[in-house]
């Protein structure tokens, strides 16, 4: 099985604090991997290292054959292939929904305005809000903003999508509309790495779940196995805490 993402011996320090300790992870093409764990466990940092928003202190990350940080690759080209969806959406507030979805297509993919608009509308339709193309982010609900953010990444036609707690900033009634879009992507065979607290999503869509604690990978297993028969005490403790309510 060839990996599209290969992480080996990843360490990340912020000053003296070690956020990530010796993480290794192989992700296959088309696989959906969820990363769960208590806050401060380093799961977001691992995700941010995958598109080099954080520079690893040590270790190697290979994306589809290209090693991040080596001199002969252009990180901007890799990032165009790796979509990222943030907890706080980070839409560009001075641009309309459609412009949010087209700006990087034009600048990075060098698409003509017509083509960028066409692809942009397709992606807005895919996330279910083509009628909001001319709206500005502040005119949209949180769930709509997050869906525009997903469309913005999809318009680059990425090989991999990274999701950093995409529903954590949403009101409960809006979580489903975002998860539905993510489930659709998973069913279409997109390679996805998702940091999340949504155990329902993990069960429904994830091929494997990675449990992290204190910067380390504690356990990796398919969701059914991890949730019903966790092997480590730390996993059991975490699951008992989040499944209590």
Partner 1 sequence: MTLAPEQLEPISIELPKRLTWRTFPYWLVAILGFVVVMAVQILFGEEFTKAFDFIIGGLGLTLYASALAFVISMFIGLIAAVARMSKSVIARNIATTYIEFIRGVPMLVLLVTFGIVLVPDMLELVGLDRRLFDLTHRGIIGLSAVYGAFLAEVFRAGIESIPKGQTEAARSLGMTKAQTMQRIVIPQAIRNILPALGNDFIALLKDSALLSILAIREMTQMTKLYTGSSFRFDEGYLVLTFVYLSLTLILSLLVQWYGRRIGTVSTSR
Residue ranges that bind partner 1, judged by CB under 8 A = 51, 53, 76-84, 86, 88-94, 103-104, 107-108, 137-138, 145, 149, 152-153, 156
When the beta carbons of 108 and 237 are compared against partner 1, the nearer one is 108
When the beta carbons of 160 and 226 are compared against partner 1, the nearer one is 160
When the beta carbons of 83 and 215 are compared against partner 1, the nearer one is 83
Give the separation between CA 31 and CA 54, rounded to whole angstroms. Answer: 23
When the beta carbons of 82 and 209 are compared against partner 1, the nearer one is 82
Sign of the C-alpha dihedral computed for residues 165, 166, 170 and 176 taken in this order = negative
Distances (CA, A) of 22 to 8, 10, 86, 129, 143: 8, 5, 24, 41, 35
When the beta carbons of 104 and 217 are compared against partner 1, the nearer one is 104
Our CA dihedral for 5, 167, 181, 113, rounded to 10 degrees, sits at -80
For strand 32-36 and strand 208-213, is the pairing parallel, antiparallel, or unpaired? Answer: parallel
Transcribe 213-226 into DSSP letters.
Answer: ETTEEEEEE-HHHH
Cβ of residue 235: shortest distance to partner 1, in angstroms? Answer: 30
Cβ of residue 231: shortest distance to partner 1, in angstroms? Answer: 34
Cβ of residue 105: shortest distance to partner 1, in angstroms? Answer: 9
When the beta carbons of 96 and 235 are compared against partner 1, the nearer one is 96
Distances (CA, A) of 67 to 60, 61, 74, 203: 7, 6, 10, 31
Give the separation between CA 193 and CA 35, rounded to whole angstroms. Answer: 7
Can you list the positions of beta strands (E) in 15-153? Answer: 17-28, 32-36, 58-63, 66-67, 82-85
Cβ of residue 53: shortest distance to partner 1, in angstroms? Answer: 6
Cβ of residue 222: shortest distance to partner 1, in angstroms? Answer: 29
Cβ of residue 17: shortest distance to partner 1, in angstroms? Answer: 19
């Amino acid at each position: 099985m060839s990996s599209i993402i290969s992480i080996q011996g990843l360490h990340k320090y912020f000053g003296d604090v070690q956020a990530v300790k010796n993480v290794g992870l192989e992700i296959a093409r088309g696989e959906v991997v969820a990363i769960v764990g208590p806050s401060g466990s380093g799961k977001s940092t691992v995700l941010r290292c995958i598109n080099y928003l954080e520079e690893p202190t040590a270790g190697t990350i290979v994306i589809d054959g290209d090693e991040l940080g080596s001199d002969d690759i252009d990180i901007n080209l890799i990032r165009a292939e790796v979509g990222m969806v943030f907890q706080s959406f980070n839409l560009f507030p001075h641009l309309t929904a459609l412009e949010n979805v087209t700006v990087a297509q034009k600048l990075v993919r060098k698409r003509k305005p017509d083509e960028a608009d066409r692809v942009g509308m397709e992606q807005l339709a895919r996330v279910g809000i083509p009628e909001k193309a001319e709206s500005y982010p502040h005119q949209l609900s949180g769930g709509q903003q997050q869906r525009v953010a997903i469309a913005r990444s999809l318009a680059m036609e990425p090989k991999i999508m990274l999701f950093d707690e995409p529903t954590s900033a949403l009101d409960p009634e809006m979580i489903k509309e975002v998860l539905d879009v993510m489930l659709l992507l998973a069913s279409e065979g997109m390679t996805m790495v998702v940091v999340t607290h949504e155990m329902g999503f993990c069960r429904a869509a994830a091929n494997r779940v990675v449990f992290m604690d204190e910067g380390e990978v504690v356990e990796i297993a398919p969701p059914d196995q991890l949730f019903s028969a966790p092997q480590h005490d730390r996993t059991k403790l975490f699951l008992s805490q989040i499944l209590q309510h």
